[in-house]
């Protein structure tokens, strides 16, 4: 922060208002002139929009947290469909839940206090709980049935290649993340793949399977290296965040744009909550990068960001 | 939770989508069928709308946190103007910042990394920092000038009476919370009033001032007692939350509706983060109440709730 | 941060160990050379010890959160008894709970999952819940009985004078914070006093009571002004934090030592979670102050700090 | 919670005190009768001690977060050396940092405000920042040098076998987690191994490496299945938590003891912050299990737990 110029960059806080004509673009533009997480949300929207507008920007998207069970599958699907994601890094859990929905199974939600239901009761009823969302245990039977019949072409293929193969086997008319990524040739990386119910079923039924994790790791460094401009959006931290970050660390490139949506904080020193500016010291993020961390549940922030981007991009295409 | 009926109340999670025609009402209605804080936000919107629609519902609104500096003054002003708040309980800090804006002073905000600016530098420049919002120290001179000239009618009046008097002295064309409350005869309670810059200036210039805090405390119990239906919305916790809660505790009444927007959590045992259901044990919240806690920065959640309510109420009035 | 010297101040992280002879002093001294909150805890211990050793240091102690119900009454009592607190600022709730214990009533705790007990059941049983601690509602009757018989000497005395009077009425052999403060002439400030069950009972039974909050506010500024060296320890934030901070803001003095124990974070802009360094911009904390924020439940950090201080002070007195 | 018996299980909260003779065992025993996280810490100590005392209990330990950089390497080493851990699941990052320390490199820490140092400056100086801990980038050269010379016996061995091989190559007189696990035949699982600097260097220098992740996944289910009694201790959540939990989910067994130390919370629905009782619904945790979640930075809680266990176990062996 060049302190001498600081007074000059200060502007009036906008006591913003909602009018009859407020739309998502006006809301976000107004919030940009406020403070705290509202402002950071608005800055994140603006940064993401720039990432999309810059044609040589490769958009890395890290996704952790149980977002598919929480009803965010279609939003992520749309991020991919609209071209807002070039490389997806996620958890095995999200892929397991995505597969379940793609095969026609559903996660369940209840009334306002359903998170207080007794867990022993749920266990007897064969219902697994994810805070206030529920997953009937029999969904695993459906996944098992599907997985056991897979004709895996190569027991030593990379995980990303396997996930592409998997996506191609899924019904066309679903909102599956696996399916749309396969269609649009968006690679999915999943470094902790064996930490998932999907991998468990694969392991039980395909005993010789040894998907190559190292191939993905090296491929990811190449992708980071080759990106003319690198932009990253991190949802929830975890392994997806670190995997994207280390790829930028171990190549000469660094991110010019960075967005982070998380409830984790920096003080306990874990990577999930680490401030984005800390990434500058590691060479993961460029010192002239634009970045914004939003402390928010992704189920609130992600739909708003998508809503903004979709409307904004439509306007851009129309030549506004 | 009557476990036997639990399976019956479970519904499919909605993998919701943003379409070209999405508006705030559709967004919130769709999020209601998802999970985590997105669902809780939607439930809070629905509960608040019910509170407004039920004509005998007295809407208690507790407001803590530096929301005026963060650009939320106009949103709160509009909550009051539209009749969404019947009784306001807030902090001296918010009133101090509201007065500053009403007198024509402004809070300032800077570019994306302004929260990292050096605090010693700011001190030399006479700029006070509130995370990423800035308040020039000379604003206090403006407040002092105004406060020193006040002709306070009664040195022992209640704080709420004093705040009404104060609001009446403010310019008509401002978005002042103090002004609109005075105009609409919405009482403002501020139990920790002397914990503020405004009270400090009052104390310096009106040495015999002894505003009656006990009168407010008892008046507040009466208001809680007389409410045919009590509904509460708590932003940020703190003294405003407890003051509303204790009024319901010390009368036979209890809240039928309760909303809470906070980043605090229950595990360390403080009241700010206490779960709303805990209020049932105290008789503050009715055991058949509808309630929802949103873990979110209020600068994100509050504008969305207001946006929803305003559009929904407009539709309701049109007879949709 | 003078960057040029930065490499020189860096030292090896201590991979610390617990030996057969580890005591609390060795533990804290070792943790000082680690990282994250362990290090911050150790720094806070060291800073507090310096505050005690510096004879002209006035130690302001802000206490928010339900610490008396959680079994921390005796620790705070000992802080006062040992002379580690010169001025106490706290919430009405803590004083209400302190009074209850002083009158022979008790808070209750249960087995490992007692926080999950049904709140409607508790309400029927007249038991109030504070997360995993319970307060039988009949305690209020005991408080009421005591309060109704009080012969308050002056209906317009300051709150701190009233609290001194109150402490003098309490049994000598209790661990009451009110009692020990009265005995040791440690002033207690409680800016949000009417936000408490104790004030409620006072208001019901002494209708003409109008304790002077403004007198306390001004007295507190004088105490801050007169402190040769000011040191502050903030537990939990809230009104006690702000009240201490504003006293330093509205006088030429500023804190040379500052400790903060909280679970609140800076990003949502509330004062409770504000970084201590932010206080430098306001002139509340000196730019050359030593300070440390510990992100921790106070029920864990406070006993450890007291344990360290007591043993360290004993050694100091022995001339180690 | 059998409500009828609830009143009977309630006991007085202990207003605990520190005396001249307080030791860690007395401290923890006293805190057990308090509330909030102090009580939960004490319960966790007691539960872990029971796990150790029960000879057929297999103790699964999940470790996430940058604990080695923060000076916790020796504590974890001692947990293993003393026999308090039977199966370790951790992150690649912790193993990378452990290897660095084992090879004679060191993490660095600075003075009280070192977390505010400018990240661009650090980048120029080739120093990587982990909140307030620093890692000179040249450490990677040391790791690379070591890794490049490794004579890996089998390119398709499981990760746990490879980590055992790796530990055997390390100097005997270090406090390395890898070394002590190899010596004591404690398996280390690392499901997200390729998400680490260590794996990156391995991949660069051993291009045909394809360590078998699936073998570990299946082996882990067998270990969970075979455990007469399963006990788990989760530090920090993440992949290690889920990997332990899924092993218990996919076998008939479930944990009889469970401890969790984390700063994550349940409301956003991620597994890291999920309540332990939620694990009951999945069959991961037994409905009659003893469990305790401590909301605390592990750098504070873990040393205290170890200190308690070591002293308690010494007493037990002496026949107290």
For residue B295, the chain D residues in CB contact (below 8 A) are 265, 267-268
**CB C201 within 8 Å of CB C144:** yes
Report the candidate in D69, D92, D105, D63 with the shortest Cα–Cα distance to residue D199: D92
For residue D115, the chain A residues in CB contact (below 8 A) are 266
Report the candidate in C279, C284, C210, C213 with the shortest Cα–Cα distance to residue C253: C284
Average pLDDT over residues A88-114: 93
Tell me which residue in C65, C119, C214 faces B270 most closely, judged by beta carbons: C65
Mean pLDDT of chain C: 95
Structure-token pair, residue A278: 């800390």
Predicted pLDDT at A87: 98
Report the candidate in B241, B301, B237 with the shortest Cα–Cα distance to residue B264: B237
Taking the alpha carbons of C130, C136, C137, C139 in that order, is the dihedral positive or negative?
Answer: negative
**CB B181 within 8 Å of CB B164:** yes
Question: What percent of chain C is modeled with pLDDT above 70?
Answer: 98
Q: What's the rounded Cα separation, in Å, for the pair A305 and A25? A: 10
A133 and B36 in contact by Cβ < 8 A? yes
Give B116's strand partners: none
Tell me which residue in B123, B199, B218 faces C217 most closely, judged by beta carbons: B199
D37 and C300 in contact by Cβ < 8 A? yes
C106 and D131 in contact by Cβ < 8 A? no
For residue B90, the chain C residues in CB contact (below 8 A) are none
What values do phi and psi take at B61, rounded to 5?
-125, 115
Predicted pLDDT at A1: 46
Q: Closest Cα of chain D to A73: distance in Å?
A: 15
For residue B104, the chain A residues in CB contact (below 8 A) are none
Average pLDDT over residues A7-24: 91
Taking the alpha carbons of B195, B201, B207, B213 in that order, is the dihedral positive or negative?
Answer: negative
Report the candidate in D109, D67, D113, D58 with the shortest Cα–Cα distance to residue D86: D58
Predicted pLDDT at D4: 59
Q: Is the pLDDT at D1 greater than 90, yes or no? A: no
Radius of gyration (C-alpha) of chain D in whole angstroms: 21
Tell me which residue in A123, A200, A204 faces D281 most closely, judged by beta carbons: A123
Q: What's the rounded Cα separation, in Å, for the pair D243 and D221? A: 10
The pLDDT tens digits along chain B (320 residues) read: 445 578 888 999 999 899 988 999 999 999 999 999 999 999 999 999 999 999 999 999 999 999 999 999 999 999 999 999 999 999 999 999 999 999 999 999 987 677 788 999 999 999 999 999 999 999 999 999 999 999 999 999 999 999 999 999 999 988 999 999 999 999 999 999 999 999 999 999 999 999 999 999 999 999 999 999 999 999 999 999 999 999 999 999 999 999 999 999 999 999 999 999 999 999 999 999 999 999 999 999 999 999 999 999 999 888 76
Average pLDDT over residues A101-114: 88
Q: Which candidate in C164, C284, C290, C312 is catalytic?
A: C284
Q: Closest Cα of chain B to A191: distance in Å?
A: 26
Between the two ends of chain B, the Cα-to-Cα distance in Å is 34
Predicted pLDDT at C311: 96
Q: What's the rounded Cα separation, in Å, for the pair D244 and D63? A: 11
Q: What's the rounded Cα separation, in Å, for the pair B263 and B235? A: 10
Q: Closest Cα of chain B to A261: distance in Å?
A: 12
What DSSP string describes C217-248? HHHHHHHHHH-SEEEEEEES-HHHHHHHHHHH
Average pLDDT over residues D132-145: 97
What angle separates helix B92-102 from helix B73-81, to the nearest 10 degrees?
90
Higher-pLDDT residue of D230, D115:
D230
- pLDDT tens track for A251-265: 999 999 999 999 999
Predicted pLDDT at A39: 97
Q: Is the pLDDT at A277 greater than 70, yes or no? A: yes
- pLDDT tens track for A132-159: 999 999 999 999 999 999 999 999 999 9
- pLDDT tens track for B248-266: 999 999 999 999 999 999 9
Tell me which residue in A120, A269, A287 faces D280 most closely, judged by beta carbons: A120
Q: What's the rounded Cα separation, in Å, for the pair B196 and C243? A: 8
Structure-token pair, residue D267: 């409301």
B295 and D37 in contact by Cβ < 8 A? no
ipTM of the predicted assembly exceeds 0.90: yes
Structure-token pair, residue C231: 């040191």
Average pLDDT over residues A112-125: 86
Task: Give catalytic status of residue D59 as yes or no.
Answer: no
What DSSP string describes chain B? --GGGHHHH-EE-------TT--HHHHHHHHTTS-HHHHHHHHHHHHHHHHHHSTTEEEEEEE-SSTIIIIIHHHHHHHHHTT--SEEEE-HHHHHHHHHHHTT---EE-STTGGGS-HHHHHHTTEEEETTEEEETTHHHHHHHHHHT---S-TT-BHHHHHHHHHHTS-TTS--HHHHHHHHT--EE-TTTTSSHHHHHHHHH-TT---BHHHHHHHHHHHHHH-SEEEEEEES-HHHHHHHHHHHHTSS--EEEEEEEES--GGG--TTT--TTHHHHTTSEEEEEEEEEEES-HHHHHHHHHHHHHHHHHHHHHT-
Which pLDDT band, with edges at 50, 70 and 90, does C3 fall under? low
**Chain D residues with a Cβ under 8 Å from any Cβ in chain B:** 35-37, 265, 267-269, 293, 295
Report the candidate in A250, A224, A254, A255 with the shortest Cα–Cα distance to residue D199: A250
- pLDDT tens track for D214-260: 999 999 999 999 999 999 999 999 999 999 999 999 999 999 999 99
Q: Closest Cα of chain A to B10: distance in Å?
A: 4
- Angle at CA of residue B229, ends B227 and B232, nearest 5°: 90
**CB D50 within 8 Å of CB D44:** no
Helix (H, G, I), strand (E, B) or coil at C308: helix
Q: What are the CA-CA distances from residue C57 to residues B196, C48, D244 (Å)?
A: 25, 11, 51
What values do phi and psi take at A41, rounded to 5?
-60, -45
Predicted pLDDT at B275: 96
For residue C265, the chain A residues in CB contact (below 8 A) are 265, 267, 295
Predicted pLDDT at B63: 98
Q: Report the chain D residue with the minimal C-alpha distance to residue B119.
A: D116
């Amino acid at each position: 922060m060049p302190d001498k110029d600081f007074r000059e960059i200060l502007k009036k806080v906008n006591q913003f208002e909602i009018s009859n004509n407020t739309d998502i673009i006006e809301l976000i533009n107004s919030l940009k002139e406020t403070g705290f997480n509202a402002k950071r949300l608005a800055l994140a929207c603006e940064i993401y929009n720039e990432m999309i507008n810059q044609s040589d920007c490769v958009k890395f998207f890290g996704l952790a947290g149980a977002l598919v069970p929480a009803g965010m599958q279609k939003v992520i699907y749309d991020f991919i469909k609209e071209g807002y994601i070039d490389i997806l890094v996620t958890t095995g859990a999200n892929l397991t839940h995505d597969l379940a929905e793609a095969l026609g199974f559903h996660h369940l939600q209840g009334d306002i206090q359903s998170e207080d239901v007794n867990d022993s009761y749920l266990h007897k009823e064969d219902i697994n709980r994810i805070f206030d969302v529920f997953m009937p245990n029999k969904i695993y039977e459906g996944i098992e049935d599907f997985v056991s019949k897979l004709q895996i072409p190569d027991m030593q293929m990379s995980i990303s290649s396997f996930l592409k193969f998997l996506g191609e086997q899924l019904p066309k008319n679903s909102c599956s993340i696996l399916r749309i990524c396969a269609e649009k040739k968006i690679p999915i990386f999943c470094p902790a793949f064996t930490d998932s119910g999907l991998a468990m079923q694969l392991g039980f039924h395909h005993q010789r399977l040894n998907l190559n994790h190292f191939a993905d790791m090296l491929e990811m460094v190449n992708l980071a290296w080759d990106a003319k401009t690198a932009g990253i959006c991190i949802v929830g931290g975890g392994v997806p965040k670190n995997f994207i970050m280390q790829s930028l660390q171990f190549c000469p490139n660094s991110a010019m744009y960075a967005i982070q949506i998380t409830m984790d904080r920096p003080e306990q020193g874990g990577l999930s909550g680490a401030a984005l500016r800390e990434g500058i010291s590691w060479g993961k993020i460029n010192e002239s990068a634009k970045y914004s961390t939003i402390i928010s549940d992704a189920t609130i922030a992600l739909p708003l960001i998508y809503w903004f981007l979709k409307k904004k991009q439509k306007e851009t295409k129309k030549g506004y």
